[in-house]
Amino acid sequence: MILLLQYTLIFASVLLLVALGGCFSEHSGVINIGLEGIMVMGALGGALMMKFLPESTPAFGMILLVVLAAILLGMAYSLLLAVAAINFKADQTLVGTAMNLLGTAAATVFVKAMNTAESVDNVSSTIQYINAKKAFLVNIGSFEFNWFMLLAALALVGSYVSLYKTRFGLRLMACGEHPQAADSVGINVYRMRYAGVLISGLLGGLGGIVYITAGVSEWKFENGVAGFGFLALAVMIFGQWKPTRIALAALLFGFCRALGNVYSGFDFLKNLEIPAAMYNMLPYIISLVVLAFTSKKSRAPKAEGVPYDKGQR
């Protein structure tokens, strides 16, 4: 039971972080399909930091540096989307798709090259961080508390406040609803959209490192993040682009994923003999059904996906 709670919370943290990232990007008017790729890049940054930091690093420093590395790489990678979508008015879905493919492929190539450079026989795409990972965990009884859960909660509060209570957030949302109107009152739409995409890179990268440290102590980069970026998109839509609702959606979807991992520990679930794939599939089915019923009056930002052109009427 405690294991279920633990998995639910950590998966929900991942989904919450990444979905909030997507939320910022979409509120500024840029659709970010590339969250999956951003997560992989963030995971790569964090994993490399964990690998190369000396074991004697104090836990606090370790957490700080790993988070920083993940964030920086995630933001740098999201620039690919920002430049193409904002400056060059490219098709955002196309760019996002390319970023997803590129993220996994580039990370695999990089990690494999690093591993083979260390020893010629090692052709795996795995980074190990058994010892470093301990810095993130605090055992409370049999419950493994992960500092990232706290971080996700902070991100939620931060997002809520910055979106609804600050000048920056309200301006950002204006750019996603009606950029021409925003521009007419002196808001720099391009700069706001850059901010939105970069924040999504920040939160997406962070989500990536949380994801790969969630269960195991080594990560094979060939696998990417197994659709969590897309699941986060579902969370964001299910949460109707609102941080508080996104948090609830993340908990629900995290719970489904966690059930898929630990259902065999419950006798009555085991007796039902539902394959794990069913639990993994559940979040997608739920969000599709919900979408079908709610999309008529969608709360999606009105101008998302449309490149902003100053000269357009």
CB atoms within 10 A of CB 291: 13
- Does 311 bind other proteins (CB under 8 A)? Our answer is no
Closest-CA residue to 45 (of 60, 63, 66, 62): 66
- Does 295 bind other proteins (CB under 8 A)? Our answer is yes
CA distances from 113 to 93, 104, 119, 213, 276 (A): 30, 14, 10, 22, 34
- Does 99 bind other proteins (CB under 8 A)? Our answer is yes
- Does 41 bind other proteins (CB under 8 A)? Our answer is no
Q: Which helix (H) or strand (E) holds 208?
A: helix 189-214
Closest approach of Cβ 69 to other proteins, in Å?
19
- Does 105 bind other proteins (CB under 8 A)? Our answer is yes
How far is 111 from 106, CA to CA, in rounded Å? Answer: 9
How far is 266 from 299, CA to CA, in rounded Å? Answer: 38
- Does 43 bind other proteins (CB under 8 A)? Our answer is no
Which of 11-19, 50-58, 101-109, 194-202 is the region at the interface with other proteins (rule: CB under 8 A)? Answer: 101-109
Q: Which is nearer to other proteins, 36 or 66 (CB)?
A: 36
- Does 116 bind other proteins (CB under 8 A)? Our answer is yes
Q: Please list the helix, strand and coil fractions of the chain in percent, rounded to the nearest 5, in that order.
A: 75, 5, 20
CA distances from 161 to 93, 165, 168, 207, 288 (A): 29, 5, 10, 20, 29
Site string for other proteins, 198-227 (x = CB under 8 A): ------------------------xxx-xx
Helix axes 35-52 and 189-214, enclosed angle (nearest 10): 60
Could you say which of 125, 200, 213, 261 contacts other proteins (CB under 8 A)?
A: 125
User: Pseudo-torsion of CA 280, 281, 284, 289, nearest 10°?
Assistant: -140
Closest approach of Cβ 102 to other proteins, in Å?
4
- Does 281 bind other proteins (CB under 8 A)? Our answer is yes
- Does 100 bind other proteins (CB under 8 A)? Our answer is yes
How far is 250 from 11, CA to CA, in rounded Å? Answer: 8
Q: How many CA atoms lie within 13 A of 1 on its CB side?
A: 1
Which of 135-143, 208-216, 242-250, 273-281 is the region at the interface with other proteins (rule: CB under 8 A)? Answer: 273-281
- Does 140 bind other proteins (CB under 8 A)? Our answer is no
Binding site for other proteins (CB under 8 A): 31, 33, 80, 84, 88-91, 93-95, 97-102, 104-106, 108-110, 112-113, 116-117, 120, 123, 125, 222-224, 226-227, 230-231, 233-234, 237, 275, 277-278, 280-281, 284-285, 287-288, 291-293, 295-296, 298, 300
